[in-house]
A and B are shown apart, each in its own frame.
Chain A
Amino acid sequence: MTILLFSCLLFLVSILAGLLGALTGLGGGVVIIPALVLFFDINIRYAMGAALISVIATSSGAAVAYLREGYTNLRIGMFLETGAVVGAFIGAVLVAFVSTRFIAIVFAVILFLSAYLTVRRKHAQQTQVSSHPWAVRLQLTGDYPTTSGMRTYSVQHVPAALVIMTIAGIFSGLLGIGSGALKVLAMDQALRLPYKVATTTSNFIIGITASVSVGIYFFRGYVDPNITFPVVLGVAIGSIGGAKLLSHIKSRSLRIIFSVVICLLGAQMLYKGMTGALS
């Protein structure tokens, strides 16, 4: 395949990655890695480098729209990010002592379970009015746009969410990708936030988490300009488009899209665990 053809095809795939990444709060890596490895026969290290950059581009492309429309909860995002950063550090230390193949299989199981939990939650309206004491103390509650104007929401189980975020950080430190799925889960299942608040707040912070590893990725030579060039352009276009779509999509549809995408991620992890190929 010529470089010109490769760049054009990868550009198109990256638009889709940016679109799905911005809508689900997962970033573009979930689509970028299997596309590069399976369809273009690119070495996994280059694919991981490109995926990391795609996550930062997705986060940047969609953030301004989500902040302006009032979906993103900056306080919740930054509070939970501390758990992810600490976890990422623990994961980076642990990586020398544990089998990443075993970890990948455990993570795959967690992802399939997350997909099930995400689809199962049907209640669009929050039933509880009062918030967890920590949420009150840290002023984590907020409001978000609905078809009938701005609506306030409560915030539950803050300690549980912080634990899930730390685990998300450990997994991303160990495996390099995939922490976005657990971030959305922490905010959806533990904090019980409106679904779009969970995905947009995840979108805001995944760029920060990815930036923590980027120095090392550059230094190891994982970031190749020829591969990242079509990825950054495509993902930027896709994520800006995705952010415009969000307010027109029903939360229920978004849950289904999210579940399909994390099942795809789960399949990748299972493949990684079984073959040891993606290490």
Chain B
Amino acid sequence: MTRTELLIGQVMRAGLFLSIFLVLIGGVTYLIQHGGDTINYAVFHGEPMALTSPLGIWQQFFDLSPRGIIQFGILILVMTQILRVALTAVYFIEMRDVIFTVISSAIFVVLIVSFFWRD
């Protein structure tokens, strides 16, 4: 296996660990504040607007809201996926492999578009 291949795997794991770190901080803080409350998720209410868009989550994160910190951690995990597909494209560029560079780049574009797509 090549250096770039290993780098792809390491980026995925680094993204997961950064995500876990944030989720753990947000989650434990939330449990300290609300651990004794009763859960009720039988009915779907959706999420507050602030927790559904990247910009809103970014603001919640800087307000140090525990739920915002968790959501930001999840967002890091997702953005790591986009990054690793970009790295895969770089890997095939290094290999001078035209077909697979096109394939990886196309998947990268689909990921970017779908990330911002709203129905």
Interface residues of A (CB under 8 A from B): 1-4, 6-7, 40-46, 53, 56-57, 59-61, 63-68, 70, 74-75, 78-79, 81-82, 85, 89, 138, 207-208, 210-216, 218-221, 223-230, 232-233, 236
- Residue from A66, A211, A232 within 8 A of B23 (CB atoms): A232
Determine the distance from Cα of A71 to Cα of B114 in the docked complex, in whole angstroms. 29
Q: What's the minimum C-beta distance from B60 to chain A, rounded to whole angstroms?
A: 10
| B80, A60: Cβ atoms closer than 8 Å | yes
Q: Size class of B's contact patch?
A: 35 or more
| B39, A6: Cβ atoms closer than 8 Å | yes
Q: A223-B71, A232-B73 are in contact. Are A208 and B81 (CB under 8 A)?
A: yes
Determine the distance from Cα of A214 to Cα of B111 in the docked complex, in whole angstroms. 9
Interface centre among A67, A218, A224, A236 (most CB of B within 10 A): A218
Interface centre among A4, A60, A63, A210 (most CB of B within 10 A): A60
Determine the distance from Cα of A66 to Cα of B116 in the docked complex, in whole angstroms. 31
13 contacts between A and B (CB under 8 A): A2-B39, A4-B36, A56-B77, A56-B81, A63-B12, A65-B9, A70-B1, A74-B88, A81-B107, A208-B111, A221-B47, A223-B71, A225-B67
| A225, B104: Cβ atoms closer than 8 Å | no
Q: A225-B67, A228-B74, A229-B70 are in contact. Are A67 and B9 (CB under 8 A)?
A: yes
